[in-house]
Chain A
Amino acid sequence: EADIYQTPRYLVIGTGKKITLECSQTMGHDKMYWYQQDPGMELHLIHYSYGVNSTEKGDLSSESTVSRIRTEHFPLTLESARPSHTSQYLCASSGDSQEKLFFGSGTQLSVL
């Protein structure tokens, strides 16, 4: 079944640690996105990619980085996590209809 997967679902780590949030999709979509969402708030775009080796920063400034070496894989990395990075991170993809986003279940990150 075509889907979009994120791991881990929950992550609690200490300040200064390096982390990578994984995102994979089996829908064959070229476009992938990372959104950040705080409780009860809107989603903010932090990164997007139009395809392999294409990555751009979104509207919300983020200290995270992303890579797109394979079409199906779009990991997000924080080199040194801080408490201000505590948030939910949602990965999404879209096909030819870019207005329709498919989301993963998200990673709830807590940095202590």
Chain B
Amino acid sequence: GQSLEQPSEVTAVEGAIVQINCTYQTSGFYGLSWYQQHDGGAPTFLSYNALDGLEETGRFSSFLSRSDSYGYLLLQELQMKDSASYFCAIYTGGFKTIFGAGTRLFVKA
């Protein structure tokens, strides 16, 4: 079967760095994606890692280790507007993207 595990909640203070981990089990794997979703809003694509290593996009970075079936999203210089849910998702090819249950990030002043 296919499954993803990520923490349900993370709390951090403004200006800090936070890491959201994601472990997965799947029989087919092309890459790991991250999406951000504010309350009542649409999920928006943040990043996609097909190869091992770190990808950086501004304040956000995403990491993948295929051998460990593990990835993380790193958010730096946290801002209040970063308070949202963050979903990791595995792309297994074709139409198939499997989503985790999401991590709710609370940023405190």
Contact = CB atoms under 8 A, between A and B. Distances in A.
B95 A45 contact: yes
Contacts of B97: 45, 99, 101
A50 B100 CA distance: 24
A90 B41 CA distance: 10
Interface residues of A, number: 23
Contacts of A99: 30-31, 33, 48, 50, 91, 97
Interface in A84-112: 90, 98-106, 108
A40 B33 contact: no
Nearest to B47: A100
B37 to A, nearest CB: 8
A43 B99 contact: yes
Interface in B81-97: 87, 91, 94-97
A103 B43 contact: yes
A83 B44 CA distance: 28
B43 A33 contact: no
B43 A90 contact: yes
A48 interface: yes
Given A40-B101, A99-B30, A99-B97, 12 more contacts: A40-B104, A42-B4, A42-B102, A45-B97, A90-B42, A98-B91, A99-B48, A99-B50, A99-B91, A101-B97, A105-B41, A108-B40
